[in-house]
Amino acid sequence: MQVLALPSHKGAPVTVEQCPGCRLVWFDRFESVHLEALGWVRLLRVMETSAKQPLAQAQVEHPTCPICAARLRPVQNQTRFGLFAVLECRHGHGHLHSHSGLLSERGLVRRPGLAERRALAEEKLALHCLNCGGPAATGDDHCRYCRTPLVVLDLPRLAHSLRPRAESMAASPQGLGRHLNWPCRGCGAPLDPGRDINCSRCGHMVVAHDLPDIDPLLDSAEAELAELAAVQARRLARYPSMQRRPAPQAEQAPAAPSRFHGVMLGGWTPLLLLLVLAMAPVVGAFAGLFKSTQTERMALVFMAGALVAFMAFCGLARGVGERRACHAAMLIAAVPSFWLGGGEGAASVLLIGAYVSLSAVVTFVFTFFYRGYRDLVFRRFD
């Protein structure tokens, strides 16, 4: 991993790890939020250099956290730009991004439409995956090799995100920034990819489908940010009281898991203990260790069976997801419902409906308790 010290809003540089061969970027907790515009420019430059290198052949099948060595889990996080896939540490130490996923998180890419594909065809350029570089066919929406959605860079949004803003954090006026001189790939006329969507002379669409295409934007943004940093340095030298104080060190990454995590078996130990406590009276009642009626024995068996069913639901929800677990539970419950309510006539139909409704209520109760147990135990000891 290549260690990068990038400028941040906190004053102190932020350390980001980047693997050039795998085209992956690791952010510790809150590091991506603390990066300032100049830090993003330098990170994009490193990513651009990595994109020019061949992708490593040997890929790690199950990446692990560099802090606690726990296996990273795939998640889909939500931003105002939509969903994006990322690998995150189960203990909250950080997250691992692909180059395409990192740009998707910041909203700097978009799906190519017919106009973009037609423009690339006119330029005799083939659309390829921004993540792994694999070639794509004409009608493909996802990469055939890494299954990443095919995207192109959104140059106006990228230019706006790297443009210096006023101290009031208001939207950047359109007049700020310098115009770029980027030759049109259709006729060669100069245009500004940060402001122009089409060439004013020939109407050819501006499309950037690879990281090296954003060099003019990065050059312009770096020059503007350097000028702004020089102005701020002169202002702070003249008015020292305006200097920003160091940020408090309150947002520390959580500690590595202790030995107690191994005893908890990923959060299953409390449920196993409850199962043992529920099965002990059942075994004692049927073994004759204490007197019990038939109704009491059936109640004990029912409680133990409900706990076993809940544990099975938890395992299914953790394996295939909560929604699919609910669907599977309803399908499984439908079989005994039809069997118990079998017969002829309207009474059979009503009985089957009652059993199915009862199964839906039980599934809802299981889902409610699973969410609480997941938030309190599973996510803490996973």
pLDDT in tens, 47-83: 888 777 766 654 556 788 888 778 888 887 777 766 7
Residues 163-173, mean pLDDT to the nearest whole number: 50
Residue with tokens 């939509």: 82
Contacts of 210 by beta carbon, 8 Å cutoff, 6+ apart: 51, 128, 130, 153
Higher pLDDT: 168 or 136? It is 136
Question: Please, are residues 150 and 129 in contact by the beta-carbon 8 Å criterion?
Answer: yes
Task: Say how far apart CA 230 and CA 279 lie, in whole Å.
Answer: 73
- pTM here is 0.57
Note the pLDDT tens digit of each residue in 110-139. 888 888 888 888 888 877 887 777 788 777
pLDDT at 249 over 60: no
pLDDT digits (tens, 9 = 90+) for 250-302: 444 444 555 556 666 777 888 888 888 888 888 887 887 777 788 888 888 88
Query: What mean pLDDT comes out for the span 77-104?
Result: 80
Distances (CA, A) of 273 to 47, 270, 302: 50, 5, 17
What gap in Å lies between CA 316 and CA 194, rounded to an integer?
Answer: 49
